[in-house]
Amino acid sequence: MRGDEKINITSKNVKTWSTIGARPTYGLAVMELAKHHEDLMVVTADVSTSAGLDRFRKTYPEKFVDVGIAEQNMIGVAAGLADNGYNVFTTTFAPFQTLRCLDQIKVNLAYSNIKVTMTGLASGLINGPLGNTHCCIEDVGALRSIPNLKILSPADGIGIFKAVYAAAEIDQPVYIRLTGGSKNPIVYHDDINFKIGEAIEVETGNDLTIIATGTMVFNSLQAAKILSQKGIFASVWDMHTLKPIDEAAVRKAADKNKLIVTVEEHNVIGGLSSAVSEYLSSYKGNTSQLSIGIEDFFPKPGDYSFMLKQCGLTPEQIAQNILSSL
């Protein structure tokens, strides 16, 4: 039974998920998922409150394991539970979920194709006030080269619910990358057809195509509005699956437009930009690509808006960058 058939999508819930932000919304999604998966088990590394999982911990204590600040151990425990038939979700902050656990992810999960869903909280730049040790601009690049691993990057609250439910149905390791903080903008007001590996065209236009992921989908939509005021009309795609990338969507964009713009809250090396470039390298056409993201540097610490502006990721900067390339 498909999990996305059980999500209660209402205008009230959509507004709530936007207001509380990515982490509490993830907690709500897992809480709802438990009603439909008796085999669900959640393993965290001392982040039940940060992940919005306190209610889950109190409601389902038998389904909750906190290993403390021991992320590598968390992956080992998750692999053992999954190997014994549990549907396991691990949760901690993105740099510790991925970079700190890279060897365990490769050996304990991917190599044996063990079904565990890893959720990286506060990826990208949202943890800017804590410095680059707590930001995560490399996770997709590090994980994308590991076989047997899928990577999801939802755009908003509905996307988070859809990603969580979809991951629960996949019989292999999955990484869910959560970006943004509280008061996350709404991209989808109604139900969407979310399928792993199939991008969603959110906005249509004939002049160029913007392919974005995570919270940058909203910023790209805003950039497209700015461009439309200048008579330039862009399609905007939500590439919610970064591995496997939707090659058909990229090909459709390349066939339609001479310019593809990728926008991501990640290093331009290794993430969405690289995935699209890898496909276009074998594409027989004259489509060019503009990569907008973090230009391979560590930004100076600061609040989220400051970090985005440093990296050229505000809607106004995205639009101006595109205009300069035309």
Structure tokens at 106: 């490769």
Greatest Cα pair distance, the chain, in angstroms, is 58
> Which of these, 95, 94, 116, lies nearest to 105 by C-alpha position?
116
Is it the case that residue 1 has pLDDT exceeding 50? Answer: no
Whether residues 97 and 161 fall in one domain: yes
Mean residue pLDDT of the chain comes to 96
Q: Is 194 within a domain? A: no
138: annotated active-site residue: no
Which CATH number is 31's domain given? 3.40.50.970
* Candidate list 38, 62, 71, 201, residue with the active-site label: 71
Coil/strand/helix, residue 308: helix
Note the pLDDT tens digit of each residue in 15-56.
999 999 999 999 999 999 999 999 999 999 999 999 999 999
Whether residues 15 and 138 fall in one domain: yes
Task: Using pLDDT thresholds of 50, 70 and 90, give the confidence band for residue 304.
Answer: very high
9, amino acid identity: I
pTM metric for this prediction: 0.96
Could you give the CA distance from residue 124 to residue 265 in angstroms, rounded to a whole number?
Answer: 5
State the pLDDT at residue 61: 97
Confirm if 79 and 118 have CB atoms less than 8 A apart.
Answer: no
Task: Using pLDDT thresholds of 50, 70 and 90, give the confidence band for residue 284.
Answer: confident
Coil/strand/helix, residue 40: strand
Task: Using pLDDT thresholds of 50, 70 and 90, give the confidence band for residue 285.
Answer: confident
Which CATH number is 239's domain given? 3.40.50.920
Q: Is 185 within a domain? A: no
Whether residues 163 and 221 fall in one domain: no
Note the pLDDT tens digit of each residue in 51-107.
999 999 999 999 999 999 999 999 999 999 999 999 999 999 999 999 999 999 999
Expressed as residue numbers, the domain containing 242 is: 200-325
Task: Using pLDDT thresholds of 50, 70 and 90, give the confidence band for residue 6.
Answer: confident
Task: Using pLDDT thresholds of 50, 70 and 90, give the confidence band for residue 277.
Answer: very high
Whether residues 219 and 139 fall in one domain: no
Whether residues 254 and 319 fall in one domain: yes
Whether residues 11 and 157 fall in one domain: yes
Place of tokens 């505000």: 314
Confirm if 176 and 51 have CB atoms less than 8 A apart.
Answer: no
Domain count, the chain: 2
What is the spatial order of strands in the sheet that 64-66 belongs to?
Answer: 64-66, 40-44, 87-93, 116-123, 174-179, 150-152, 241-243
Q: Is 47 within a domain? A: yes
Note the pLDDT tens digit of each residue in 176-226.
999 999 899 999 999 999 999 999 999 999 999 999 999 999 999 999 999
